[in-house]
Amino acid sequence: MELTTVWFTLIAVLWIGYFTLEGFDFGVGMLLPVLAKDDRERRVLLNTIGPVWDGNEVWLLVAGGATFAAFPEWYATLFSGFYLPLLLILLALIVRGLAFEYRAKRDDDTWRARWDVAIVVGSFVPALLWGVAFANILRGVPIDADMEYVGGFFNLLNPYALVGGLTTLSLFLTHGAMFLALKTDGPVRERAGALAVRLGAVAAVLAVVFLGWTQATTGTLASAVAFVVAAATLLAGLGAALVRREGWAFLGTFAAIAAGVAGLFLALFPDVMPTSLADGVGLTTTNAAATSYTLGIMTVVAVVFTPVVLLYQGWTYWVFRKRIATHHIPEPAAAPEPAPQA
């Protein structure tokens, strides 16, 4: 196997890791005002992802760095052509991270409510725009003979891309609800389990439309197999949720997202960013790749450090595997009594 194919595959794996892991904490963030009835329940939801959300974002950083090093032409065209949506995603992630850190800095309901809005918006924007971005990559964008993006922002807002955005949004909401049903107890668990089934039904319809559309336009036999696996595991997850088998339900949405993303990359290969112009030149794993020497060094680094990162992140999830309920959340500390006047 050529090193360009190896690195295309590794980048696909990194995006699968990002969407399956960050996907559920996007879902938790968006469901904050829906499933939590008071501040203690909101703290339960946030504590389910508190130990892992920043680790989940590492997958995005590594995917971006790997793209920059392995396929610099792809990275340059992607970030210039998709500058505005990627900037909006970056700003949303920054605001979301600040909200997680600053929400508890003051014992004030208004203060916390404002940061809660930031968490919801900071989760919603990437959940929607990542689907829009990936759909446009698959569909093809205006790239000229010099391999430069020559379109505008509104080229990205087409029906296929919007369906892609709604698909990732609904899948992440379902994935987040499944995760909360698995990680919480009491009333939050009941609400999350019931909502997961309803959200999953919507996600299933959107996923069938989007993946079917993708298969009809750019699909291959391999992508068709992956899409069938995605549909089957999503339905299996919904069935498990109906009988309150939360672990299997979460694995179902996890596998569905993983198989769906794998199918998108299989449909894309060997392109990395096709052109929609008749006289344009699309980017492929060959003409967008770095030198063989660079790819060789990167491969050695990846072989050494990837298992270490996977082991560490797996250990983190194992340590924080238990359920959380409101009785685990301490009452806010009482304000100190004012000192008596002399």
Using the predicted structure, report yes or no on whether residue 334 has a pLDDT greater than 50: no
Pairwise CA distance, residues 97 & 74, whole Å = 28
User: Encoding tokens for residue 10?
Assistant: 């590794």
Indicate the Cα dihedral angle 151, 157, 160, 161, nearest 10°. 90
Pairwise CA distance, residues 254 & 142, whole Å = 33
Using the predicted structure, report yes or no on whether residue 337 has a pLDDT greater than 70: no
pLDDT number for residue 165: 96
User: Encoding tokens for residue 240?
Assistant: 């498990």
Q: In the chain, pLDDT over 90 holds for what percent of residues? A: 70
104: helix, strand or coil: coil
Q: What is the pLDDT of residues 15-30, one digit of tens each?
A: 999 999 999 999 999 9
Side chain identity at residue 24, one-letter code: F
pTM for the whole thing? 0.92
DSSP state of 157: -
Asked if 316 and 51 count as a contact pair (C-beta separation under 8 A), the reply is yes
* Section 37-51 average pLDDT: 91
What contacts 304, CB < 8 A, 6 or more positions away? none
**CA angle (82 as vertex; 81, 86 as ends), nearest 5:** 150
**CA angle (221 as vertex; 74, 20 as ends), nearest 5:** 60
Token pair 């759909």 in the structure block, residue: 135
Q: What is the pLDDT of residues 227-243, one digit of tens each?
A: 999 999 999 999 999 99
**Alpha carbon separation from 239 to 194, 235, 252 (Å, rounded):** 12, 6, 9
- Mean pLDDT is lowest, of 7-21, 64-78, 269-283, 321-335, for 321-335
331: helix, strand or coil: coil
Pairing of strands 283-284, 271-273: antiparallel
* C-beta contacts of 76-82 below 8 A and 24+ residues apart: 77/143, 77/147, 77/148, 77/149, 77/273, 77/283, 77/288, 78/137, 78/273, 80/148, 80/149, 81/141, 81/143, 81/149, 81/151, 82/133, 82/136, 82/156
- Mean pLDDT is lowest, of 161-175, 192-206, 255-269, 319-333, for 319-333
User: Encoding tokens for residue 315?
Assistant: 């250990």
Using the predicted structure, report yes or no on whether residue 61 has a pLDDT greater than 80: yes
- The residue extents of the domains of the chain are 3-82+137-148+169-325
Q: Nearest 5°: phi and psi at 323? A: -70, 155
Pairwise CA distance, residues 91 & 125, whole Å = 9
Pairwise CA distance, residues 59 & 11, whole Å = 10
Pairwise CA distance, residues 136 & 141, whole Å = 7
Of the pLDDT bands very low, low, confident and very high (cuts 50, 70, 90), residue 54 is confident
Higher pLDDT, 279 or 201: 201
Q: What is the pLDDT of residues 178-203, one digit of tens each?
A: 999 999 998 999 999 999 999 999 99
Helix (H) or strand (E) holding 16: helix 3-30
pLDDT number for residue 338: 53
pLDDT number for residue 269: 94
